[in-house]
């Protein structure tokens, strides 16, 4: 078992963006309850570590001072007439709510705390499910994300001279993180996602491959709606292991959004929790020793609780029993960890998704692999 920390406290799960908003931070509390019900925290298992708020200096590793100050003021209910300049809107993706700055600083600080635990050699794996807010940009909020904790956490490590590989398996393109490292070969970013032709943020095509010295170090694997476990795993295995092996990172950072699930209300990929957990386990096997796991999207509560509990198990090299512990079964009416009924796709949906994945994989191999000394042609 690898020494592993879960960075979590209930304070991360208490804010409400808006009553009807799909991002519900209470999912973090439910996930932590299930993880603890399986006995994953304790002697000989994972350790629980408390988060701390990110400092201004840490937020400024990626964001502008002007934006940071605006977030602080909006959070107190001040200067609200300037909300749109920073992409906030009451009825939109990024509502302003009281305590917004404190909530964003704490989830960002949780990712930095995870980095501190890894860098001090206290653990080999550190996990912050409240992080992975990969859409935020230097000067504005985006896609439910206020501060971009993955960029900030990676910069904290890259500034020590470490090579970092970032793999983002959220259903949405990891556009903020791609932007943060677009022109450097020190950080390899790989995002597998539902194609921007169908889904927010509308980017993440294979041709977005980096700039200058960073050319070949931004990797995008856009997939079609109805991509299921089998097609996803095939595309993942064709692209991710060879690139990580060739890149030889010092640290692996994974963003494990679980909005790829077939029950997710916002997206159209069709993964099961067990397919998702298989991908996470294969990522863990690629880790060079230090592994930072961040959360991300995930809007079906049961899929989030179960998928992230299985993901935390992968950190501990453990597969939990399929039967959910009795206390949780009673409280939340969920009974098995894995999905028992899988999506019923038509032959046409399957073959279209397969064909699209084959095209994407061929394009990535042709355009990206030669930058890494890998054969570009299949």
For binding to Zn ion (CB under 5 A), which residues are involved? 170-172, 257, 259, 297
Say which residue the tokens 């985006």 belong to: 142
CB 171 within 8 A of CB 191: no
CA distance 302 to 316: 21
Nearer of residues 259 and 339 to Zn ion, judged by Cβ:
259
CB of 171 to Zn ion, least distance (A): 5
DSSP state of 140: B
CA distance 192 to 95: 27
Nearer of residues 52 and 198 to Zn ion, judged by Cβ:
198
Phi and psi at residue 306, to the nearest 5°: -75, -45
CB of 180 to Zn ion, least distance (A): 17
Pairing between β-strand 47-49 and β-strand 164-168 as defined by DSSP bridges: unpaired
CA distance 302 to 24: 12
CB of 55 to Zn ion, least distance (A): 27
Out of 15, 135, 173, 268, the active site residue is 135
CB 53 within 8 A of CB 102: yes
Nearer of residues 39 and 92 to Zn ion, judged by Cβ:
92
Whole-Å CA distances, 274 to 31, 230, 271, 311, 323: 16, 11, 8, 10, 14
CB of 88 to Zn ion, least distance (A): 19
CB neighbour list of residue 168: distance below 8 Å, 6 or more residues apart: 134, 150, 174, 177, 189, 190, 191, 192, 193, 254, 255, 257, 296
For 235: left if phi > 0, alpha if psi spans -120 to 50, otherwise beta; the answer is alpha
Tell me whether residue 63 is one of the annotated catalytic residues: no
CB of 33 to Zn ion, least distance (A): 23
CB 281 within 8 A of CB 240: no
- Quick one: which of 154, 66, 141, 79 has its CA closest to 111? 154
CB of 174 to Zn ion, least distance (A): 9
Nearer of residues 170 and 300 to Zn ion, judged by Cβ:
170
Nearer of residues 36 and 189 to Zn ion, judged by Cβ:
189
Using CB positions, name the residue nearest to Zn ion. Answer: 297
Nearer of residues 232 and 369 to Zn ion, judged by Cβ:
232
CA distance 54 to 77: 21
> Which residues belong to the active site?
135
């Amino acid at each position: 078992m690898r020494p592993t920390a879960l960075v979590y406290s209930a304070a991360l799960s208490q804010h409400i963006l808006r009553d009807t908003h799909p991002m519900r931070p209470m999912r973090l509390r439910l996930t932590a309850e299930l993880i603890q019900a399986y006995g994953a925290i304790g002697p000989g298992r994972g350790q629980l570590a408390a988060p701390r708020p990110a400092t201004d200096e840490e937020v400024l590793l990626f964001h502008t001072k002007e934006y940071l100050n605006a977030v602080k003021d909006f959070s107190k209910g001040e200067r609200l007439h300037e909300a749109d300049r920073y992409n906030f809107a009451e009825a939109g993706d990024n509502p302003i709510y009281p305590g917004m700055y404190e909530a964003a600083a704490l989830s960002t600080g949780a990712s930095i705390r995870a980095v501190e635990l890894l860098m001090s050699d206290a653990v080999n794996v550190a996990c912050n499910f409240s992080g992975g807010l990969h859409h935020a940009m230097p000067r504005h909020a985006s896609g439910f994300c206020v501060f971009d904790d993955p960029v900030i956490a990676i910069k904290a490590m890259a500034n020590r001279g470490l090579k970092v590989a970032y793999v983002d398996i959220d259903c949405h393109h990891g556009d903020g993180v791609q932007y943060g490292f677009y022109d450097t070969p020190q950080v390899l970013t790989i995002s597998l996602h539902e194609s921007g032709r169908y889904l927010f943020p509308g980017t993440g095509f294979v041709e977005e491959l980096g700039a200058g010295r960073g050319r070949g170090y931004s990797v995008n694997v856009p997939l079609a709606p109805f991509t299921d476990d089998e097609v996803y795993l095939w595309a993942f295995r064709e692209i991710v292991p060879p690139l990580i092996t060739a890149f030889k990172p010092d640290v692996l950072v994974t963003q494990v959004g679980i909005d790829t699930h077939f029950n997710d209300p916002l997206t159209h990929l069709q993964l099961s929790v067990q397919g998702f957990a298989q991908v996470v386990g294969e990522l863990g096997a690629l880790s060079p020793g230090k592994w930072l796991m961040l959360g991300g999207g995930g809007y079906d509560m049961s899929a989030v609780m179960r998928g992230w509990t299985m993901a935390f198990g992968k950190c501990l090299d453990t597969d939990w029993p399929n039967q959910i512990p009795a206390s949780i079964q009673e409280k939340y009416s969920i009974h098995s960890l894995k999905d028992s009924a899988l999506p019923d796709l038509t032959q046409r949906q399957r073959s279209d998704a397969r064909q699209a994945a084959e095209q994407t994989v061929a394009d990535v191999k042709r355009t990206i692999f030669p930058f890494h000394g890998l054969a570009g042609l299949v």
